[in-house]
Amino acid sequence: MLIASFSQRSLENACALWDEGQVVAIPTETVYGLAGDATNDKAITTIYSVKNRPVFNPLIIHCHSLSQAKRYAEFSLRAERVANAFWPGPLTLVLKRRMGCEISLLASAGLDTLALRIPAHPIALDLLRAYEIPLAAPSANLSNTISPTRAQDVYASLGERVPLILDGGDTSVGVESTILDLSGEEPVLLRPGGLALEVIEKQIGEKVLHYKGDEIKAPGMTKRHYAPEAKVKLNMTVKQNKQGEVLLGFGAVVGDLSLSLSGNLEEAAANLFRMLRDLDQPGIHTISIAPIPNHGLGLAINDRLRRAAAD
Ligand code: TXA
Ligand code: MG
């Protein structure tokens, strides 16, 4: 069976596959990741090819502890404070690579920086501790499709391209990690995600700049990304009464499904990708989506929805 529940045996299978430079899909608290040995060029090449991902789009490196992460990247005082406050958790830090860092240069697309995080998922942490070498892991889906929040989503997207999918149930956060660039003078948000910006700003006592460059520096910085097959229409409060249209509600806007009836943004983020997948069925040409407030996790939800709606 390709999808395996987590046990000592499946942990050993995963480590054996990583030793051979192969990839394994693993649960994290955000989305499922397609993980490979971050120090092995062959594994990194496999990750890019399994996902059909352009090689100029670098990967996130997963560690089990701050002391492990420090072997590979330079932590400023600010970075250390942020890491201590939010790791393990849905936050990725972009930091300068250390001299002699063994992480494959292919994994960071030749940049002199590294994107690092410690996932807050017991299975991911057990695997990282058992394997000891950091794991590079982008979301476990084909490039430009909706990220997987369940083991069966990984299978639906990648099928037999992955030799092993470890099932950890539904992910709890449901959107990818927030990416914060701390490699320069000022903290810069590269991607809104599962940790709210307000929470980070409060902790560090500074405003975080929003990345505005035109080069691709973070994910889905290509305009269309996270895209379902159906057309996505934003800020809709009613259906236009056409066949083949579904409404995804939020709060007072009651739809065919609701991201959160009580208007809770954490709940909405956790439901977002699963509901988009469930609504994206043959015969459905339009998914209309209720307005989502643009604060807290709403920033990440609206970011993903804008990309899903782009032509
Ligand atoms: O929640 C997550 O972050 C998930 C789980 C599996 O950990 N991973 C994930 O990976 O979303 P991915 O590959 O879909 O997004 C990683 C993004 C890349 O698109 C890239 O732009 C950015 O991280 N990134 C990686 N290394 C970078 C670097 N050195 N500088 C700037 N951005 C970087
Ligand atoms: Mg992705």
Q: What is the pLDDT of residues 105-119, one digit of tens each?
A: 999 998 999 999 999
Provide the token pair at 204: 């560090």
Given this model, what pLDDT does residue 51 score? 96
Kindly report, residue by residue over 161-213, the tens digit of the pLDDT. 999 999 999 999 999 999 999 999 999 999 999 999 999 999 999 999 998 76
Protein residue closest via CA to atom 31 of ligand 1: 217
Nearest to residue 152, comparing CAs of 12, 60, 27? Answer: 27
pLDDT of 220 over the 70 cut: no
253 CA to centre of ligand 1 in angstroms? 33
Residue given tokens 């709940």 in the structure block: 267
Residue given tokens 């069976």 in the structure block: 1
Separation CA 33–CA 135 (nearest Å): 10
Residue given tokens 């259906």 in the structure block: 239
* pLDDT grade for 229, boundaries at 50, 70 and 90: confident
CB 251 within 8 A of CB 260: yes
Separation CA 76–CA 197 (nearest Å): 20
Kindly report, residue by residue over 243-294, the tens digit of the pLDDT. 999 999 999 999 999 999 999 999 999 999 999 999 999 999 999 999 999 9
pLDDT of 120 over the 80 cut: yes
Residues 66-74: contacts with CB within 8 Å, 24+ apart?
Answer: 66/118, 68/134, 69/116, 69/118, 69/134, 71/98, 71/101, 72/97, 72/98, 72/101, 72/102, 72/103, 72/114, 72/116, 72/134, 73/97, 73/98, 73/101, 73/113, 73/114, 73/116, 74/98
* pLDDT grade for 228, boundaries at 50, 70 and 90: confident
58 CA to centre of ligand 1 in angstroms? 6
pLDDT of 297 over the 90 cut: yes
- pTM summary value: 0.94
30, 60, 180, best to mutate for ligand 1 pocket (most atoms within 8 Å of CB): 60
Separation CA 270–CA 250 (nearest Å): 13
239 CA to centre of ligand 1 in angstroms? 35
| Ligand 1 pocket residues where CB is under 6 Å | 28, 30-31, 33, 57-60, 92, 94, 108, 111, 113-115, 119, 137-139, 176-177, 179, 190, 217-219
CA dist 288 → 20, 186, 236, 237 (Å): 45, 38, 6, 8
